[in-house]
Amino acid sequence: MKDRRQFLKTAGTLLAGTPLVGRATLFEGEPVPETKIIKPPALKPGDTVAISSPAGAVWDSGNVEKFTGIIESLGFKVKHGQTLKEKTGYFAGNDELRAKELNTFFADAEVKAIFSQKGGWGCARLLEKLDYETIRKNPKVIMGFSDITSLLVAIYSKTGLVTFHGPVGNSGWNDFSVDYIKRVLMKKEAVTYAYPDKDEDKPYLLNPGKAKGTLIGGNLAVLAGIMGSKYLPDWKNKILFLEEVEEEPYSVDRMLTQLRLAGVLKNISGFVFGKCAKCLAEEPFKAFTLKEVLEQHIKPLKIPAFYGAMIGHIENKYTIPVGVKAEIDADKFEIKLLEAAVS
């Protein structure tokens, strides 16, 4: 699965006291208004979860059936979106249909969460069509990763609603991944994301130390793609987490340079790069390695940072909230939530 792509930019202030989404200065137009953080209600057995495909078309209906069974096994009821059956080119229906489905699910009092069937490309095309006032008034869990990044970040930035970077229907729902979903979304735990000892691909320390801040991030290409838009937060005192798939080191270099030139990297307090699946140079003898690229961009920042967290296009993945306070301990390769992500 190769999910992602599109948009970013920033500036502003983080107010003391009640957590706020900062006032982001745009290239043009008015600043984004400051908004109080909103935590969605925790999920419980018997709740209805809507499955939507806000980006790519679903070509195998068997994947929907499988995902439905997984959600039902967790004790939830399921409501299917029309996008699971629609095909418009590589999209799950046209932009209007996909945006309307999300708006409808947020307005539907019966629906307590919206899970994505898959990523692909297309979510950024919906950002201008979402009803952010309805979303703000009807807070609920929305979860996905890869291309869903643009929805997660835009909804958080425009409404203050905490969103969730976690599995989609087409990705792994094994015991590791489901455990974090239960702990974060149902049990209201302020989770410490410790690196599993059994994983052979050990993390790599970029800069030592601890840092506190608000978690925000997702797919690097998607964030780079919405650079300069009005759908991004102030990056001051944020812990930025990123992941990628099938990008050569030079491409990661280009996108990180874009974040640096936009002023993102100089404002964050901590940095975590998850997994970069299949991110190898086609001609390695002519290229930097991914670690070398990360060192070039992140080491000079002198902020706590590490590479290799269980985030990304991998089977075992964390469910990471976008918009809550956290602390990273780079030496231990840990991310610790300082508050529950749901109410």
Coil, strand, or helix at residue 253?
A: helix
Residue 299, amino acid? K
The catalytically annotated residue of 116, 146, 157, 229 is 146
Q: Annotated catalytic, 146?
A: yes
Q: Which of 243, 244, 248, 327 is catalytic?
A: 243
Residue identified by tokens 């270099």 is 253
- Measured over all CA atoms, what is the biggest interatomic distance in the chain, rounded to whole angstroms? 57
Torsion, CA 72, CA 78, CA 81, CA 82, rounded to 10: 90
Residue 183 burial class via C-beta count within 10 angstroms: exposed 0-12, middle 13-18, buried 19 and up: middle
Active site residue 313: yes
80 flagged as catalytic: no
Per-residue CA distances from 172 to 3, 57, 257, 298, 317 (Å): 14, 19, 31, 30, 8
**Which bin fits 240, alpha (ψ -120 to 50), beta or left (φ > 0)?**
beta
The active-site residue, picked from 171, 229, 313, 327, is 313
Short-list 217, 174, 182, CA closest to 314: 174
What positions carry a catalytic annotation? 146, 243, 313
